[in-house]
Amino acid sequence: MPAVALTALPRVTRGGVMLMGLALGCATGVDFVATSILATAAVQIRAGIYATPDEFLWCFTAYAAAAIVANLMLRRLAEYLSYRGVTIAGLWIAIAGTLLCAVSDNITQLSMALFVQGLGAGGLFASARTLIQLIAAPPERPRLLWPFVVGALGMLAVAPWVTATLMLDAGWRTIFVVQAIAMAGTLLLVSVTYPHRVRPPYRPDFDTLAAMDWLTVFLLGAGALVLVHGLADLRLYTASDALGVVGWPAAGAALMALAFLRLHVRPDPWLNTHRLGGKRYLTGLAFFAIYAFTAGLWNYVMPILMQLGLGFSFETTGMITTISSSFGVVAAVLFVLYGAKLPGSRRWLALGYAMIAVAAWMLATRVMSDLSLDRVAQALVLQSVAVPFALVLVAKLTFLETSLDDFSHTYQFKNIVRQVASAAGTGTAAQCLQYGEAVARTHLVGRVDPYLAAHLPADVSLVSLSQTIDQQAVLLAASNLLAIVAPACLLVAGVAAWQRWLR
Same domain, yes or no, for 297 and 154?
no
- With 90 as the cut, is the pLDDT of residue 210 above it? no
Q: Is residue 430 part of a domain?
A: yes
Q: What percent of the chain has pLDDT over 70?
A: 89
Q: Is residue 207 part of a domain?
A: no
Q: Among 252, 269, 286, identify where a domain stops.
A: 269
Quote the pLDDT of residue 450: 61
The top-scoring range by mean pLDDT among 72-76, 371-375, 436-440 is 72-76
- With 90 as the cut, is the pLDDT of residue 209 above it? no
Q: Is residue 432 part of a domain?
A: yes
Cα–Cα distance measured from residue 211 to residue 495, given in angstroms and rounded to the nearest whole number: 45
Same domain, yes or no, for 127 and 251?
no
Quick check: 153 and 36 in contact, CB under 8 A? no
Q: Among 227, 252, 269, identify where a domain stops.
A: 269
pLDDT, tens digit (0-9, with 9 covering 90-100), for 437-451: 888 777 777 666 665
Quote the pLDDT of residue 1: 39
Closest to 277 measured CA to CA, from 409, 465, 183 = 409
- With 90 as the cut, is the pLDDT of residue 94 above it? yes
Cα–Cα distance measured from residue 124 to residue 25, given in angstroms and rounded to the nearest whole number: 10
- With 90 as the cut, is the pLDDT of residue 276 above it? no
Same domain, yes or no, for 341 and 467?
yes
Quick check: 479 and 368 in contact, CB under 8 A? yes
Closest to 34 measured CA to CA, from 161, 112, 123, 122 = 122
Number of H helices, E strands in the chain: 19, 0
Mean per-residue pLDDT of the chain? 84
- With 90 as the cut, is the pLDDT of residue 92 above it? yes
- With 80 as the cut, is the pLDDT of residue 18 above it? yes
- With 50 as the cut, is the pLDDT of residue 3 above it? no
pLDDT, tens digit (0-9, with 9 covering 90-100), for 277-325: 788 888 989 999 999 999 988 988 888 888 888 888 888 888 999 999 9
Q: Is residue 358 part of a domain?
A: yes
What is the rounded average pLDDT of the residues 66-90? Answer: 89
Residue 366 neighbours by CB under 8 Å, 6+ apart? 375
Same domain, yes or no, for 46 and 190?
yes
Tell me, what DSSP letter sits at residue 389? I
Q: Is residue 2 part of a domain?
A: no
Quick check: 228 and 419 in contact, CB under 8 A? yes
Reported residue count of the chain is 503
Which CATH number is 151's domain given?
1.20.1250.20
Same domain, yes or no, for 175 and 235?
no
3-state secondary structure (DSSP) of residue 117: helix
Which CATH number is 298's domain given?
1.20.1250
Tell me, what DSSP letter sits at residue 138? G
What is the count of structural domains for the chain?
3
- At 394, which amino acid appears? V
**CA separation (Å) from 26 to 32, 178, 334, 461?**
9, 15, 19, 50
Quote the pLDDT of residue 457: 60
CB-count exposure of residue 142 (10 Å: 0-12, 13-18, 19+): middle
Quick check: 190 and 17 in contact, CB under 8 A? no
CA dihedral angle for residue 150, residue 154, residue 155, residue 159, rounded to 10 degrees: 180
Q: Is residue 205 part of a domain?
A: no
- At 490, which amino acid appears? L
Quote the pLDDT of residue 397: 85
Cα–Cα distance measured from residue 3 to residue 175, given in angstroms and rounded to the nearest whole number: 44
pLDDT band at 350 (very low <50, low <70, confident <90, very high): very high
The top-scoring range by mean pLDDT among 25-39, 175-189, 253-267 is 175-189
Q: Is residue 31 part of a domain?
A: yes
Domain that holds residue 85: 12-195
Same domain, yes or no, for 429 and 456?
yes
CA angle at residue 383 from 344 to 282, to 5 degrees? 50
pLDDT, tens digit (0-9, with 9 covering 90-100), for 225-245: 888 777 766 555 555 556 666
pLDDT band at 98 (very low <50, low <70, confident <90, very high): very high
Same domain, yes or no, for 148 and 253?
no
Same domain, yes or no, for 389 and 287?
yes
Tell me, what DSSP letter sits at residue 202? -
Quote the pLDDT of residue 244: 64
What is the rounded average pLDDT of the residues 103-116? Answer: 92
- With 80 as the cut, is the pLDDT of residue 200 above it? no
DSSP string, 145-179: HHHHHHHHHHHHHHHHHHHHHHHHHH-HHHHHHHH
Query: Where do runs of H (alpha helix) occur along 266-344?
Result: 279-304, 314-338
Q: Is residue 282 part of a domain?
A: yes
Same domain, yes or no, for 408 and 493?
yes
Q: Among 154, 169, 195, identify where a domain stops.
A: 195
Same domain, yes or no, for 358 and 497?
yes
116-130, 297-311, 379-393, 453-467: range with lowest mean pLDDT: 453-467
Same domain, yes or no, for 393 and 456?
yes
pTM of the predicted model, to two decimals? Answer: 0.89
**CA separation (Å) from 107 to 229, 318, 419, 457?**
15, 25, 22, 44
Same domain, yes or no, for 241 and 296?
no
